[in-house]
Structure 1
Amino acid sequence: MQKNTLNRATRKDVAREAGTSVAVVSYVVNNGPRPVAEATRLRVLEAVKKTGYRPNSVARALASGTSKTYGLVVPNIANAFIASFAHALQQEALSNGMVMLLGDAGDCRKRELELINNLLSQQVDGLFYNSVDRHPYIDVIQASGTPLVMLDRVNPDLKVNILRVDEYEAAHQVTSHLLSHGYQEVGIICGPLERLNTQDRLAGWRQALVDFGVKERPEWIFPTAYSREGGYEAGQRMLAGDALPRALFATNETQAIGCIRALAEHNITVPGQLALVCFNGTEQSAFHVPSLTTVRQPVREMAKRAIEMLTAPEGEAQLSEFAHQLEIGESCGCSFTERRAAGQNDYKK
């Protein structure tokens, strides 16, 4: 069966229909570099419409040196925080006349590499990259000469642009708020232990325990996937143990929601019987029942900065670190009166 691409209209077809040269068609389509008489321009545009011609973006990128596209590679777009950040990046890119191409690795390193190579082959003007694990394919991107901004913590010796929040400090702050209620039996649902961001969040949780003189209980550390399913599964493991912690730090919002579902199936209330806080909250945190006490990242400001870093003149690699914001909900045990008295703005770092 013949592919439709073989019948795709070309500039020669447009030129033939308009009764002009291929060069003139190129001037009209690219809005230059040479002027074209208005009557001729209208005739070419009519021919474009009639033939159904669409410019070859890859060929145009090779000719002009720009594809007007960015690539974004993320571990899993099902993660609510990643989705919110991807949305903010896309909106910022559109505001700058660019299109964002999304690559969702589905938590698979092999697929991640395939996506990177595919985006590079499409001559994207830059890549935003959040790797599945702590071994990102930075060398592949740097070898291509494509501008890059990493959206996660990586080794500074790699000489790459990095955009991040201090996840250790964010985890420490939200856990400290939880412990300020006086809880002594505190667990954690974290991500896979080999992930750098898991290690940062786990270290922040541990330091808060030390600061408040609370004993760490290894049996209350539950590594799992950064997903609702992961949180639910961790909650089931926790419920199957000999005893429940009185308070819990979930290292992302979706884990918290999955865990709360597991607790609800056993009629365990939050925060009544188990208080909970989480990391990387989104707008969904405020609408969950109970509303979640969480650390949020300023995704709009971060997206704007990421674009600026990608388009900056070549030079030394930049590190841009953003302050997080602690938002008080009901899940930690704060009453409505206390939350209103505290005010959300009081918890900006």
Structure 2
Amino acid sequence: MRKTKRITISDIAGLAGVSKATASLVLNGRGEELRVAKETRERVLALARAHHYQPSIHARMLHDTRSHTLGLVVPEMTNHGFAAFSHALEKLCRASGLQLLISCTDENAEQEMAVVHNLVARQVDGLIVASSMLSDSDYVSLSEQLPVLLFDRRMSPTRLPWVITDSVTPTAQLVEKLARSRPEEIYFMGGQPELSPTRDRLAGFMQGLAQAGVTSRPEWIIQGCYHPGSGYEMFAALCDRLGRPPKALFTAACGLLEGVLRYISEHHLLTSDIRIASFDDHYLYDSLSIAIDTVEQNVPELAQACFALLTTMIRGEDPADSQLLLPARLRLRS
């Protein structure tokens, strides 16, 4: 197997027949300013293009205190919500000449700290984190070295900056609508009970029931983790216990609903009379025979708010507001 070799500025200088200093001036855009001959400049630039030369980020950092790189830490890469957010944030970074590095924690606190330390070792200028941690102590300590921004989830209480979508108000509105159509039986299926999204969406669920005049029952609340497999298992156990599908169901995230829909499809329940509502929307819900009402986050707005807040902190400026609660909207299909 042929051994590869990354081309360096010294290689370009040698091929062009000039000194390394002259090649550096040309490649850094200062050749004309410092009177390097036009023919020499064109020769150096042509060779750089032909050999796909890229300047070393490490060399750049010797003259610049920033790496022009941001770190994003998410619990699950395949989760539709986190994937959509990552895509929107990467586009913003790319447009601003920044590189986004993305790491996954698999909802594991030990793994989370490992990937965070890995990103810090790569000299990222700031971190955006959807954390699985229950305490902010590690991130408060880390924030003394570089800006840290929480998104989607927050510890309570915390003085760290965060950007999240309001879960309580729109969930209450959606569940009230669901409860008025199926007051006799509405189940809540959530993730880890200690995480803020679960707490907020459960609070919205309870508020929605109260607004509809429906009294909640303890057996209606089912919690596992934010993974499709957990949604599948919880829904399977519920159908087994009831001997039928539930009359109405609210799932607290897109991943949980994915597991529910897989069970429904496998057991030929797509034509059943179940009513489903969920937090988080997916474009494929428009194609299903079951009408699913959702709370839809404004992902571009969420990414823009995170990007603006983090880059403000990286510049050493104080943001006007460091803790932002963004609105969501209802997508009604039923």
- Please confirm whether the aligned pair reaches a TM-score higher than 0.5, indicating the same fold: yes
1:249 match: secondary structure: strand
**Structure 1 residues 94 and 187, CA gap change in structure 2 (3 angstroms):** same
Does the CA-based 8 Å contact 1:120-1:144 persist in structure 2? Answer: no
Q: CA deviation at 1:105?
A: 1.8
1:248 aligns to what? 249
1:177 aligns to what? 177
Does the CA-based 8 Å contact 1:61-1:123 persist in structure 2? Answer: no
Does the CA-based 8 Å contact 2:228-2:256 persist in structure 1? Answer: yes
In structure 1, how many angstroms separate the alpha carbons of the residues matched to 2:211 and 2:192? Answer: 25
2:324 aligns to what? 320
Does the CA-based 8 Å contact 1:80-1:253 persist in structure 2? Answer: yes
2:241 match: secondary structure: coil
In structure 2, how many angstroms separate the alpha carbons of the residues matched to 1:29 and 1:111? Answer: 40
**Structure 1 residues 37 and 123, CA gap change in structure 2 (3 angstroms):** farther
Report the count of equivalent residues: 326
In structure 1, how many angstroms separate the alpha carbons of the residues matched to 2:289 and 2:28? Answer: 53
Q: Identity of counterpart residues, as a percentage?
A: 29
1:144 match: secondary structure: coil
| Residue type at the aligned position of 2:9 | R
**Structure 1 residues 134 and 57, CA gap change in structure 2 (3 angstroms):** same
Residues 45-64 of structure 1 aligned to structure 2 (within 5 Å)? 45-49=45-49, 53-64=53-64
In structure 1, how many angstroms separate the alpha carbons of the residues matched to 2:134 and 2:59? Answer: 35
Residues 11-22 of structure 1 aligned to structure 2 (within 5 Å)? 11-22=9-20
2:7 aligns to what? 9
**Structure 2: which 5+ residue stretches go unaligned?**
none
1:302 match: secondary structure: helix
**Structure 1 residues 157 and 107, CA gap change in structure 2 (3 angstroms):** closer
| Residue type at the aligned position of 1:311 | T
2:22 aligns to what? 24
Q: CA deviation at 1:3?
A: 7.7
In structure 2, how many angstroms separate the alpha carbons of the residues matched to 1:308 and 1:299? Answer: 14
Q: CA deviation at 1:95?
A: 2.0
**Structure 1: which 5+ residue stretches go unaligned?**
335-349
TM-score, normalised with respect to structure 1: 0.83
**Structure 1 residues 151 and 53, CA gap change in structure 2 (3 angstroms):** same
In structure 1, how many angstroms separate the alpha carbons of the residues matched to 2:84 and 2:95? Answer: 17
Q: CA deviation at 1:217?
A: 2.5
Find out whether 1:202 has 2:206 as its counterpart. no
Q: CA deviation at 1:242?
A: 3.9
1:123 match: secondary structure: coil
Q: CA deviation at 1:68?
A: 2.8
Does the CA-based 8 Å contact 2:302-2:326 persist in structure 1? Answer: yes
Residues 172-321 of structure 1 aligned to structure 2 (within 5 Å)? 172-242=172-242, 245-269=246-270, 272-312=272-312, 313=315, 314-315=317-318, 318-321=322-325
**Structure 1 residues 288 and 63, CA gap change in structure 2 (3 angstroms):** farther
Moved more, 248-257 or 103-112: 103-112
1:294 match: secondary structure: strand
1:180 match: secondary structure: helix
CA-based RMSD of the aligned residues comes to 2.7
| Residue type at the aligned position of 2:7 | A
In structure 2, how many angstroms separate the alpha carbons of the residues matched to 1:135 and 1:172? Answer: 27
2:200 match: secondary structure: helix
Does the CA-based 8 Å contact 2:134-2:155 persist in structure 1? Answer: no
TM-score, normalised with respect to structure 2: 0.87
| Residue type at the aligned position of 2:159 | K
| Residue type at the aligned position of 1:18 | A
Q: CA deviation at 1:301?
A: 1.8
1:85 match: secondary structure: helix
In structure 2, how many angstroms separate the alpha carbons of the residues matched to 1:129 and 1:21? Answer: 45
1:208-266: CA deviation from partner (whole Å, max 9, x where unpaired): 22332323222232212223222111111101214654211101123123213323444
| Residue type at the aligned position of 2:305 | R
1:165 aligns to what? 165
Does the CA-based 8 Å contact 1:68-1:124 persist in structure 2? Answer: yes
Q: CA deviation at 1:294?
A: 0.3
| Residue type at the aligned position of 2:318 | G
1:289-332: CA deviation from partner (whole Å, max 9, x where unpaired): 32421001111122222221122252256122211000001xxx
1:75 aligns to what? 75
**Structure 1 residues 31 and 288, CA gap change in structure 2 (3 angstroms):** farther
1:241 match: secondary structure: helix
Moved more, 86-95 or 128-137: 128-137
Q: CA deviation at 1:88?
A: 1.0
**Structure 1 residues 16 and 235, CA gap change in structure 2 (3 angstroms):** same
| Residue type at the aligned position of 2:329 | Q
Does the CA-based 8 Å contact 2:90-2:100 persist in structure 1? Answer: yes
**Structure 1 residues 291 and 274, CA gap change in structure 2 (3 angstroms):** closer
